[in-house]
Amino acid sequence: MKVAALGLRFACELIALAAFVWWGWPLVGVVVAVAVAVFWGAFVGPKSGRRLRDPWRFGAELLIFAGATAALVAVDQPVFASVFAVVAVVTAGLVRRWPEP
């Protein structure tokens, strides 16, 4: 179950980046996605030397996932946005139950 949760979590991270790119294509979306990826790698990712502690990290994750959800709604994908939001929040909680390596 832990491996599935981590795999789903990684998929949510990639979908979030794709949602930002799709929303602001070409330039704004790429810039926002790169900024989010850099932030995630610096403060949220499991191998970050400056990883935020919970609840700050959890809040940052939820903020990024909420932004991606809003981006999906903005590109006329409300059903996908709803499914993404639920899965992203659930996986954010699951990785606290089964922490990353």
Task: Grade residue 40 by pLDDT with cuts at 50, 70 and 90.
Answer: very high
Q: State mean pLDDT over 19-39.
A: 97
Q: State mean pLDDT over 18-24.
A: 98
CA-to-CA separations, 4 to 7, 52, 71, in angstroms, rounded: 5, 24, 26
Q: Is the pLDDT of residue 65 over 70?
A: yes
Q: Is the pLDDT of residue 82 over 90?
A: yes
Q: Where are the domains of the chain?
A: 2-97
Q: How many Cβ atoms are within 10 Å of 18's Cβ, its own excluded?
A: 15
Model pTM score:
0.93
Question: What mean pLDDT, rounded, does the chain reach?
Answer: 94
Give the pLDDT of residue 100.
Answer: 67
